[in-house]
Chains A and B, each alone.
Chain A
Amino acid sequence: MSGDMSGDVTTDASTDASTDASTDASTDAPGSAAAPGDAGAPVPSIVVDGVSKRFTLRHARSIREMTIRALRRQRLSETFDALDGVSLTLHRGETVALMGLNGSGKSTLLKLMSGVMSPDAGSVRVRGRIAGLIDVGAGLHPDLTGRENVYLNAAILGMSEAETRRKFDAIVEFSGVERFLDNEVRFYSSGMFMRLAFSIAAHTEPDIFLIDEVLAVGDPPFREKCLERIRELRGEGRTMVIVAHDIPMLTRLCDRGVTLRQGRIVFDGDPAEAGRLWLEDRRARQTADRPGKS
């Protein structure tokens, strides 16, 4: 096995080197580097290399608004660097938390990984099937029944018909909406809606799993069930990238934490330390906001 992997080891070493270099340059705390849990050389599963992403915020869309703004000599648009020269290599089997304040670039990074957006500079490469628990409700259509939605949403997340059929019962059981399966989703409570959506996504079994803010969903028992499912998927050697705002939960769940600050990686390593940095940022912002408001 190790003999076969030699090819991957060399590519890994080269990508790691570039990551370490950029991390060192921008890190104030020394990163303890990625610590893949399993023995053997780590296989890179997501390689983000020097990625930048800039958004243009348009203040005026219609001609009327544009004229008004132009007459007042206000700017029509502003640019905003969501990500600025980010390099990061995630290995197979790692569970990584992306931490940072709102607007620090976490979700943008996740979107670049999923392919929904493409970077302005640099490259993102991924290995294997990728699925996202990114605002899971997006694929559900309110006018279709729960059953139809399971098939549709599973297909959107990349599952074949046979695969969906095989996992159908598991999905339904996990979501706990058996009784309402043939009702249209628009009659579901918001909790049921999210449970069904999460359940479908959690059964897609991708190689890379991107999870954005969905763990805040549902009542505590279901939340616990979700975490249980995520641990289960993690145990199967999948790569996970999680964005959430619950630091204790992330610290327990992840074996690596990456803290972002204004589109740059400022820390990469122990999740507890990454969480501490993030808390610092949050306090700093709160103290900065307070005098401004009063």
Chain B
Amino acid sequence: MSAVSPGDLPPLVTPGANGGLGRVLADRYLLRLLVRRELKARYKGSLLGLGWSYVRPAVHFAVYFFVVGIFLGMDQRVEHFPVYLFSGMVLVNLFTETLHSCTRSVTGNGPLVKKVFLPRELFPAASLLVSLVHFLPGFAIMLAGALAYGWRPDPAGLGAAVLGFAIIVVLGFGLGLLCAGVNVFFRDLEQVVDILMIVITWSVPMIYPWTQVRERAPSWVLDAYLANPLVSAVSLFQRAFWAPGTRGGFAFPPQMYGRAGAALAVAVLVFMIGSLTFSRAQRRFAQEL
């Protein structure tokens, strides 16, 4: 009856066992469609469309620039304060958006997770990619601003930028996977994550220089402060896109590259814990949602 010859019968396998991140990368077609869906759905029916992703960082920037830069006088203490601010802000925004959207990625796709088996890592992976798409406009504006202030690329700076970017992406995705998995069981987590965003914004030297912490806080606070991987990433981005355009004289945190290397190692560790937790948790997603 059927034309399939026994020779090419596929083996009996456990359904749903072939998930995981590797599978997501192997099947990029579906991932691409999910990213496109996310972007289209977010800007549905709006005249500006993806243009809104320029407006949001621009407003964010304007608020900080006028309030902190001018009213609080930070632009007199930090040379080229707009570039300083923006080079940190694009990274912090990338991190917070990744974390925010990954955390909701599985619960937000509940109907799909419950009905069809897909490698569940697809959803946080799509969230990460959407965040990266949103990162680009801000990054482009920052580059334009830096160029206008006389910044020129240098090899060491580009290396620092790549390292900083890697820390943010790996750490953000790792934490995102962890939160996405846990959020299915404890929905409180999305509230916690949202509150953390406020803390994250102020816990890095983006609005103020790190030297403020050195001057005002005891040394153990400074040590804790500098141990934050996000501080390393932001400092690296400032080294890459802000410092070369200035007159110099700004002292970056001691052992910046050493700390950054450690930060990357921590990020990789968090990523491994996150993906392991996620892959264990995902077996119970369908019945918990």
Query: Is B one of A's binding partners?
Result: yes
**A interface residues with partner B (beta carbon < 8 Å):** 1, 4-5, 8, 11, 37-38, 43-44, 47, 55, 92-93, 111-118, 123-130, 132, 134-135, 138-139, 141, 143-144, 148, 151-152, 155-157, 160-161, 184, 207, 236-237
Q: Find chain A residues with CB under 8 A from B41 CB.
A: 141, 143-144
**For residue B111, which residues in chain A have a CB less than 8 angstroms away from its CB?**
135, 138
Given contacts A92-B2, A155-B33, A184-B44, contact A43 B115 (CB under 8 A): no
Contact B1 A93 (CB under 8 A): yes
Q: Does A237 lie within 8 Å of B112, measured CB to CB?
A: no
Complex CA gap A10/B6 in Å reads 13
What are 29 pairs between A and B in contact, CB < 8 Å? A1-B5, A5-B6, A8-B9, A11-B12, A114-B116, A115-B15, A115-B117, A116-B113, A116-B286, A117-B286, A117-B287, A124-B14, A126-B12, A126-B13, A126-B14, A128-B10, A132-B115, A132-B116, A135-B111, A138-B116, A139-B116, A141-B37, A141-B41, A143-B40, A143-B41, A143-B44, A156-B118, A157-B116, A161-B29
Interface size on B, residues (CB 8 A): 36
CB of B285, distance to nearest CB on chain A (Å): 9
Report the bound CA distance from A286 to B44 in whole Å: 48
B258 at the interface (CB under 8 A from A): no
Contact A160 B116 (CB under 8 A): no
The 9 A-B pairs of least Cβ separation, nearest first, read: A115-B16, A237-B2, A115-B15, A115-B117, A138-B115, A125-B12, A38-B1, A143-B41, A143-B44
- Cα of A38 to Cα of B40 in the assembled complex, Å: 48
Q: Which residue of B lies closest to A160 (CB)?
A: B29
Q: Is B114 an interface residue (CB 8 A)?
A: yes
Asked whether B22 is an interface residue with its Cβ less than 8 Å from the other chain, the reply is no
Q: Out of B5, B7, B15, which one reaches A113, CB within 8 Å?
A: B15
Q: Which of B3, B7, B9, B37 contacts A152 (CB 8 A)?
A: B37
Q: Give Cα A160 to B28, complex, Å.
A: 10
Residues in B1-44 with C-beta less than 8 Å from chain A: 1-7, 9-17, 29-30, 33-34, 36-37, 40-41, 44
Contacts of B9 in A (CB 8 A): 8, 43, 127-128
Q: A132 to chain B: which residues have CB within 8 Å?
A: 115-116
